[in-house]
Amino acid sequence: MKAVLCHRPGVLDIVERPSPGIPAPGWVRLAVSHVGICGTDYHIFEGKHPFLEYPRVMGHEISATVLEGGDGVAIPAGTPVIVNPYLSCGSCVACLKDKPNCCTNIKVLGVHTDGAFCEEITVPAGNLYPAKGLGLEAAATVEFLAIGAHAVRRSMAPAGSRALVIGAGPIGLGAAIFSRIAGYDVTLLDTSPERLQMAAEVLGFTSGIVANNNTIGAVKTKTNGDGFDVVFDATGFGPSMEQAFNFVAHGGALVLVSVVKDDIRFSDPEFHKREMMVIGSRNATRADFEHVADSIAKGLVPVDKLITHRTTLADAPRDLARWAHEKTGLIKAVIKVAA
């Protein structure tokens, strides 16, 4: 029997479940090492996620160690790995275009199917990437950073572009970090002066705008009236996503990184006169995972500064519920599962 943290509406419980059996051909049984707590997990905890049914074992930001592989798997036991949590079908219109991140039948660990807030999981071998010398705690940050890296790649903006990242939470900070790596001039926008100050002091993002009733004016002042070449909205808040259209320069792009249940409305004349692009960015691909892992290994991503909170699987029911509301000083929380 293995410990599992399971969420039902209003309740987080540590329960016992049988250990996974011998993995199926092409699948691998893993000992979970570390799991990041994502904004998605907080949304699931609060009952706000649009693609989920309860009860659910959360957890999709995963590092692990291989225990055994099924037939056809050549990964040795003991190999440290990063887990891509997006289980794709391999045969739909998106997968055939090499876009498994938006597979029409996608199942994301911890969302559509049970995840890694537990001691052991099994996943397809193709969803495992070598940790490449990263510590297993750092390896558990790769997935959330890959969301931002994918959004930056989706933007198609050239180096030197002026970028605005709306939302200074973990996903927004990931987009900001990989915008900086891509050579963009980055400004952050957030409702919280505290988050902007933390981003400046901890991560070096000194250009910031506090959202208020004159945000459009502040954006114009910051850009000499032009707007930003590329705008990333990572708020998960419909009104923010709608307002973001106003921040885009003529010929620029708006990348919607978050997902909400709402319809998003915008002014067609404002959209057309800019000849702007609106780009959806969903999940990440192998190329993004590899780019993130390589960037961490090169010291381009300050993982030690991003991980601000730590807990254990046993303490996670208490801590996750608390951190869903107590955000002061919080960037990324990580659960240490392995003893």
pLDDT tens profile 148-196: 999 999 999 999 999 999 999 999 999 999 999 999 999 999 999 999 9
Residue 198 pLDDT: 96
Domain edges within the chain: 2-141+301-336, 148-280
Between CA 105 and CA 17 the distance in angstroms is 27
Nearest residue to 97 (alpha-carbon basis) of 285, 236, 314: 285
* The pLDDT of residue 1: 63
Residue 281 has pLDDT above 90, yes or no: yes
| Cis before 193 (ω within 30) | no
Q: 72 with 26: CB under 8 angstroms? A: yes
Query: What distance in Å separates the CA atoms of residue 104 and residue 89, rounded to the nearest whole number?
Result: 8
User: Which one of 3.90.79.10, 3.20.20.140, 1.25.40.10, 3.90.180.10 gives the CATH number of domain 2-141+301-336?
Assistant: 3.90.180.10
Q: Could you tell me the pLDDT band of residue 92, with boundaries at 50, 70 and 90? A: very high
The pLDDT, as a whole number, for residue 102 is: 97
pLDDT at 50: 66
CATH class of 148-280: alpha beta
pLDDT at 42 over 80: yes
State which amino acid sits at residue 5: L
| CA separation for the pair 224, 221 (Å, rounded) | 5
3-state secondary structure of 191: coil
In angstroms, the CA 283 to CA 150 distance is 7
d(CA 202, CA 218): 24
Rounded-to-integer distance, Cα 97 and Cα 158, Å: 24
SS3 of 206, please? coil
Give residue-wise pLDDT tens across range 16-39: 888 888 899 999 999 999 999 998
- Region 319-324: mean pLDDT is 93
Give the Å distances, CA to CA, from 179 to 81, 189, 318. 26, 14, 35
pLDDT band at residue 338 under the 50/70/90 scheme: confident
CA 102 – CA 94 distance, rounded (Å): 6
Mean pLDDT of all residues in 137-156:
98
Instruction: List 307's β-bridge partners, or say none.
Output: 332
235 in Cβ contact with 258 (< 8 Å): yes
**Residue 13 pLDDT class (50, 70, 90 cuts):** confident
pLDDT at 197: 97
pLDDT of residue 51 exceeding 70 = no
User: Residue 282 and residue 94: Cα distance in Å, rounded?
Assistant: 12
CA distance 192 to 200: 13
Helix (H, G, I), strand (E, B) or coil at 118: strand
Rounded Cα gap, residues 255 and 184, in angstroms = 15
Report the distance separating Cα 206 and Cα 171, nearest Å: 18
